[in-house]
Structure 1
Amino acid sequence: MTTAPAIADTSETVIDSLLSRCRVFEQRKDFAAVRREALHFLAGNRSDVAALALLGRTELRLGRAGRALAPLKRCVKQSGNFIFRLLYAHCLKRLGHADEAAEELASAGRSMPVSGAAFFAAGVTFEGVGEIDLAIRFYRQSLLLAPGVPCVSHRLGRHLLDKGKPEEALELINTAIAGKADEAYYHLDQGVALELTGRLEESLAAVDNAIAVAPDNPEALHNRSHLLLLLNRSGAAITAADRALEVRPDYPATLFTRATALLKVGRWEEGWREYEWRWRSCQTPRTDIRCPPWEGGDLRGRHILLHAEQGLGDSLQFVRFATLVARLGARVSLHVPEPLVRLFRRVQGVSDVFSTLSSDAVFDCHCPLASLPMMFGITPETVPAAPYLSVAPEMAAKQGDPVRRLAENGDGNPRDLIVGLVWSGAPRKNKVRSYALDERRSLKLADLEPLFSVSGIRFVSFQLDEAAQQRVETGFPLTDVTQGITDFADTAARLTGTDLLITVDTSIAHLAAGMGWPVWMLSRFDGCWRWLEGRSDTPWYPTMRIIRQEAPGDWAGAVGAARRMLAGEVQQRQFYREKALSENLT
């Protein structure tokens, strides 16, 4: 008795099933799984063009052009479709075979229809192998040939968002919506574009439109919570996050948004616990520390490593807890970026500070700095108060006194108020969302012009990076005091030569306030969770006053409030001087 020979199943149903499974893996960026699926399928269907193309482009996505060459070449021989020729030519070019690549491109050009649909298909193909710049070129050509096609307009707009061009992206996505208003993802990406341009209320409306089309869309529900948080409606953001979690439970990004909303409304006990979701949302856990995490056990006689994980400002804010850890009987070491090392060596209870972790270093346990508030159960009422950062007296005399003399410039009134200014955070142009936030939190020096009309004040600049050039461009009477600064210890020493710091929400705000120095912080409308909601003070820093935008982008109102406060400060100082003089004369 014999059995019938096995026949390869190449029906459309089987192929579609393969491609459907692989699309899921591609969305997860699990290209190794895509490769496994393609190879398994090809074991029984050696000549299937769709599977060969899938394998070839997956190898390209994995950065292995050499392995992609054979399956793509077979695609070209079996089909000759212009898409396969384009991919094959791209593969040849990646491998340095320029002449062969040019020949294949010419062949592809002869067989490729001059139509919007053909160029769109080519764009999708190159998007699939991670060649986004090429995909954008094909999408642009597609729209030149067939203007206004919704799917092409949206796809190009979405990539321009990722390239940091939200205004152009918004125009394209609006076109897509005009042609197909019942596509939830069009509205969703319209919301992203509006957020990146600072139009938060409109962004929320766009997300609500997406939810109206698809009530259970998990991305839209998450984005709604995120936008409510930015709009200082944190209670509503928590409710929206709970709704999103009903649809997609345990989603790290939503849980992290919920955590920051809890912190922003002052529900810190719950918020700190959920803040640990950052490790699965936006932070990468350390894998180079060979000891267990501290989970609240007895620290007497033990050596603990506390380490930075986020920005410089976060480390400046949370290093205060190192003192509390030391009081539990531990030997405390700090691993932080180099600019913080000298400054943190003066933090009470810290044994040693370094920027490079030695491979043979031995610790009993470790803890990220930003997890310490949870470990100590910190509430707004129990925050360890500043000052906890300090400057050696000799450094203050060496660097702080010259700041005051430089500001006076030989002709100033020694009674003038010396005010430091910082108007911009460090731009992070390589990260689209971070750069958009930097744009919202920063202003131009020209926006601070009203401050310079207050008499009795000498302004000095602590601004670093490219924004410092604005001092020259404006011509304002503003003395630069940053020359020779190498780290935060230098900056701290020079701050002692001022009476007040006016700054946007950036690391120097934490530095000055952590020293107990007077700080007026100009906060964007969508202020950080750490400043709570609607308050002009903060439990983190008793000497800080927060001057908030009353509407997104409204720096004029915030600067106007700062000017009135400055004028009042000068008048108050004058009043007390005159009062003291009167008392001395009598």
Structure 2
Amino acid sequence: MCALTSGFSDQAVALTHRGAAALADGQEALADCCFTAAAILAPHRASIWHNLGEARRIQGRVEDAEQAYKHALRLRPAYPKAWAGLASLLHKTRRIKAAARATMRALALDPGFAEGWSIAGSILHERRAMERLPMIFHRAVRLAPTSPSAWLALAGGLGEAVELALACTQRSIVLSPDRPGGYVNHAGLLIRHGKLDAAQAMHDRLRQLAPLEGHAEAGDSLVASLRGDFATAVSLGRRSLALQPASLSALINLSLAEHDSGQMERARRGNERALVLHPESDVARFNLSMVLLAQGDFANGWRLYESRWRMENRAYPAHAPRWRGGDPAGRSFLLVAEQGQGDTLHFVRYAPMLAALGAHVHLMVQPSLVRLLSTLPGIASVRSLADPPPACDACIPLLSLPLAFGTTLATIPAAVPYLHTSEQDRATWKRRLGGERRRRVGLVWAGSAHDEQFIAHMVDRRRSFPLAALAPLADVPGVTFYSLQKGPPANEVRPPGLDLVDWMEMVGDFADTAAFVAELDLVISVDTSVCHLVGALGRPIWMLSRYDSCWRWLCNRSDSPWYPTMRLFRQDRPGDWTPVIDRVRIALGRWAMRGPYATYEA
């Protein structure tokens, strides 16, 4: 090899390493540049083209990524990673049959290739093709009958098919009964699907198998966090970390417990250490984003928050090319709702801002929000997530807009109201409430139970409380209470003395709720979508926040820079609502005495 060729090779290696570091840090565009330069210097290296495909796939550059993967495979046809990358790309662009073929090529080349089994499981789960599972199990047994890692990867790809995934982890345990990996993954699945007692029993077996490795303590720390016992979670997490200082699960679970218990600086340092030791971890990157956003460090928080799309292989909306910034004037944009209805109400404020820059803006949101959001100024169309998407130049999820706009704590777009009710809807509610001369206060005491999502369900248990807990408010004179509660909690027995008017059977969607709220003087609510609705309407809202509050309410504040008319009442201790409601009762009594024109108390 001549000196010049050697120099090119060394530069290509350096660029590849730099690109890999940028990719791990979520800087896909920089990674793309590095891998492109490396490919120019060393065009015959299949691994560089594979890496370039990975960077472009994550950016949503589908055609370019596909070309890079295929070029890598022309250079090295027997390249399982490139086949798996291509399979993942094909899967996300709904070319399922081609994805399945590419996955099988990867597994035929390397039967123990864990990522291939993970993609295979994802394809089956995505298509609800459970009738084909006997085939995939047969193939797994034939190709990798003694590979514990393959069975664990297949389990990871099966998503919500919990019984099948548990069968895979159990198979891994049978194949390697003296290794902790199968037990750890089996317990993790049990936790994810709400079988906490069974998970702790598995942790007890782990303690017997590997008493000094800290796996059981890390798992029990997560269980304690989910149950709201944050002090125990921190104690167990620290014990786990002492046993295995470099363990990703120990670092993540301890940092989560510290976050939930309000030890934000410790949580930040823990997640940062996790990323130093495990730069590939999108869970650590996402958890760090939660801490930074809660601390008001939006510049770094929004960037890291994008890791949510890589965590657990969530599919980025593929209705149109991903928006990468630039002048939006004259271009058409599709803004897509993600997560809950409250998130949509919170971040839809950016839609008119984008339209004001000259963009043609279309919205796809939850069906219950379509009618209300159709009143937004400058929006070309609003349709349900179940409807066919319009043809657009670019697509971006609503919760990625703060990053696109470079939002900081000082530049939060907080002008309210940014949502409005129709005159016809409001007139209907004005007539219904017109005869009431006392102060009109809406109440919400529970969120959506999320029975189908265990972790969200546990969060809801911490943010909600029974209607009976609001009994002390009955002593406040001069107030009439109106229920804004939906779902099973709306049927709870009214506590004695609490005069609660319930007209929610007349509410069909959020446009109806908005018209109702517009005729109230105040709303008192736990952390639900109603809080965002009331704040977006510019109406007074008192929010009762659980101890481990959502990142968007920041740390140690009684106000919200997102909603000028919001006042926060926070728990002092996990699970203890009594002091919170006592403070609300006192504040409500003072507010009610201020006369009919006082609507907000800071």
Q: Same fold (TM over 0.5)?
A: yes
Structure 1 residue 192, shift from structure 2 partner? 1.4
Quick check: 1:306 aligned with 2:335? yes
Note the residue ranges of structure 2 that are not aligned, 5 or more in a row: 1-79, 89-98, 112-123, 147-151, 171-179
Question: In the alignment, is residue 520 of structure 1 matched against residue 542 of structure 2?
Answer: yes
SS where residue 542 of structure 1 aligns?
strand
Paired AA for residue 433 in structure 1: I
Conservation of the 8 A alpha-carbon contact between 2:361 and 2:381: yes
Q: Quote the offset at 1:516 in angstroms.
A: 0.5
The residue that corresponds to 1:278 in the other structure is 308
Q: Are 2:471 and 2:495, in contact at CA under 8 Å, matched by a contact in 1?
A: no
> Residue 426 of structure 1 corresponds to which residue in structure 2?
448
Give the match for residue 445 of structure 1.
467
Counterpart in the other structure of 1:226: 256
Query: Of 401, 406, 410, which residue of structure 2 is paired with 1:377?
Result: 406
Residue by residue, what CA displacement relative to the aligned partner does 1:406-433 show, whole Å, maximum 9, x if unpaired?
xx5xxxxx1x211111111111112121
Q: Identify the range of structure 1 (506-515 vs 343-352) with the bigger mean alpha-carbon deviation.
A: 343-352
Give the Cα separation in 1 of the matches to 2:331 and 2:277: 44
Find the residue that maps to 1:511 and give its secondary structure: helix
Q: Is the CA contact (8 Å cut-off) linking 1:404 and 1:418 kept in structure 2?
A: no
Instruction: Please say if residues 221 and 254 of structure 2, whose CA atoms lie closer than 8 Å, have aligned partners that are also in contact.
Output: no
Matches of 2:281 and 2:184, distance apart in 1: 26
Paired residues of 2:317 and 2:397 also in contact (CA < 8 A): no
Give the equivalent residue in structure 1 for 2:488.
466
Structure 1 equivalent of residue 574 of structure 2:
552
Q: Secondary structure at the match of 2:559?
A: coil
Does residue 1:237 correspond to 2:259, yes or no? no
2:376 aligned partner, one-letter code? V
Aligned letter for 2:218?
Answer: L
Aligned to 1:54: none
Q: Is the 8 A contact 1:402 1:497 kept in 2?
A: no
- Alignment match, 1:121: none
User: Does the aligned pair in 2 maintain the 1:228–1:237 contact within 8 Å?
Assistant: yes
Write out aligned runs for 1:392-407 (5 A): 392-403=422-433, 405=435
Q: Cα–Cα, structure 1 residues 475 and 214, in superposed 2: closer, same or farther, change >3 Å?
A: same
Give the corresponding residue for 2:121: none
SS of the counterpart of 2:557? Answer: coil
1:347 aligns to what?
A: 376
Q: Offset of 1:135 from its aligned partner?
A: 10
Offset at residue 402 of structure 1 (A): 0.9
Residue aligning to 2:562: 540
Q: CA separation of 1:312/1:244 partners in 2, compared to 1, >3 Å: closer, same or farther?
A: same
CA contact (8 A) 2:317 2:396 kept: no
**How far, CA to CA, are the matches of 2:157 and 2:403 in structure 1?**
43
TM-score by length of 1: 0.71
Do structure 1's residue 65 and structure 2's residue 111 form an aligned pair?
no
Q: Which range moved further: 298-307 or 249-258?
A: 298-307
Match runs of 1:14-93 below 5 Å: 63-65=132-134
Q: Which residue of 1 aligns with 2:115?
A: none
Cα separation, partners in 2 of 1:439 and 1:350, compared to 1, 3 Å? same
For 1:84-137, what per-residue CA distance to the aligned partner results, in whole angstroms no more than 9, with x for missing partners?
Answer: 9xxxxxxxxxxxxxxxxxxxxxxxxxxxxxxxxxxxxxxx9x989989659989
Q: Could you say what secondary structure the match of 2:399 adopts? A: helix
Which deviations, in whole Å up to 9, do the C-alpha atoms of 1:134-165 show, x marking residues without a partner?
A: 9989x99xxxxxxxxx9999898655434414
Question: What corresponds to 1:119 in structure 2?
Answer: none
Match in the other structure for 1:487 = 509
Residue in structure 2 matching 1:265, options 295, 316, 331:
295
Return closer, same or farther for 1:202/1:62 CA change in 2, 3 Å cut-off.
Answer: farther
Structure with max Cα Rg = 1
Query: In structure 1, what is the Cα distance between the partners aligned to 2:526 and 2:285?
Result: 28
CA distance in 1, matches of 2:107, 2:565: 63
User: Structure 1's 61 and 298: CA in aligned 2 closer, same or farther, altered over 3 A?
Assistant: closer
1:287-366 equivalences under 5 Å are 287-290=317-320, 292-356=321-385, 361-366=390-395
CA contact (8 A) 1:31 1:62 kept: no
Corresponding residue of 1:46: none
Judge conservation of contact 2:268–2:288 (CA < 8 Å) in 1. yes
Counterpart residue type for residue 552 of structure 1: P
For residues 479 and 34 of structure 1, the distance between their equivalents in structure 2, rounded to whole angstroms, comes to 58
Question: Separation in 1 of the partners of 2:304 and 2:418?
Answer: 27
CA spacing shift, 1:404–1:222, aligned 2, 3 Å: farther
Over 3 Å counting, the alpha-carbon distance change for 1:295 and 1:163 in structure 2 is: closer
Task: Say whether 1:213 aligns with 2:243.
Answer: yes
Post-superposition CA distance 1:470-493 (Å, at most 9, x none):
145878421112113121101000
The offset of 1:501, in angstroms, is 0.5
Q: Which of the residues 572, 575, 581 maps onto 2:594? A: 572
Q: Deviations over 1:453-507 (max 9, x none)?
A: 2122111111111111114587842111211312110100011221110101010
Q: Which secondary structure state, in structure 2, belongs to the residue aligned with residue 304 of structure 1?
A: strand
Give the 3-state SS of the residue equivalent to 1:339 in structure 2: helix
> Which residue in the other structure is 1:95 paired with?
none
How far apart are the structure 1 equivalents of 2:533 and 2:455?
25
1:166/1:197 contact within 8 Å kept: no
Pair 1:503-2:533 in alignment: no
> Equivalent residue of 2:310, what SS?
helix
- Considering only aligned residues, what root-mean-square deviation do their CA atoms show, in Å? 4.2
SS of structure 2 residue aligned to 1:502:
strand
Q: Secondary structure at the match of 1:250?
A: coil
Match of 2:176 in 1: none
Contact 2:363–2:382 (CA<8 Å) still a contact in 1? yes
Q: Pick closer, same or farther for the CA change 1:476–1:128 going to 2, 3 Å.
A: same
Q: Which of 412, 415, 418 is equivalent to 1:388?
A: 418
- CA distance in 2 between counterparts of 1:155 and 1:254 reads 18
| 1:235–1:265 Cα contact (<8 Å) kept | no
- Structure 1 Cα separation of the partners of residues 385 and 203 of structure 2: 46
- 341-350 vs 522-531, which deviates more? 341-350
Residue identity in the other structure for 1:344: L
- Residues 325-352 of structure 1 show CA distances to partners (whole Å, capped at 9, x for unaligned) of 1111112211111111111111122222
Structure 2 vs 1, CA of residues 136 and 66 (structure 1 numbering), >3 Å: closer, same or farther?
closer
2:53 corresponds in structure 1 to none
Q: How does 1:116-131 map to 2 (within 5 A)?
A: none
Secondary structure at the counterpart of residue 560 of structure 2: coil
Q: Give the letter aligned to residue 354 of structure 2.
A: V
**Deviation of 1:367 (Å):** 2.0
Distance 2:363 2:353 in 1: 14
**2:279 partner amino acid:** P
Shift of 1:217: 0.7
Q: 1:442 Cα shift?
A: 0.9
Whole-Å separation in 2 of the counterparts to 1:505 and 1:379 = 23
Offset of 1:300 from its aligned partner?
Answer: 2.1
* Count of residues in Structure 1 that have an aligned counterpart in Structure 2: 477
Partner of 1:530: 552
The structural deviation recorded for 1:314 is: 0.8
**In the alignment, what sits opposite 2:280?**
250
- Matched to 1:296, the amino acid is G
CA contact (8 A) 2:206 2:215 kept: no
SS where residue 391 of structure 1 aligns? coil
- 1-structure distance, mates of 2:341, 2:518: 20
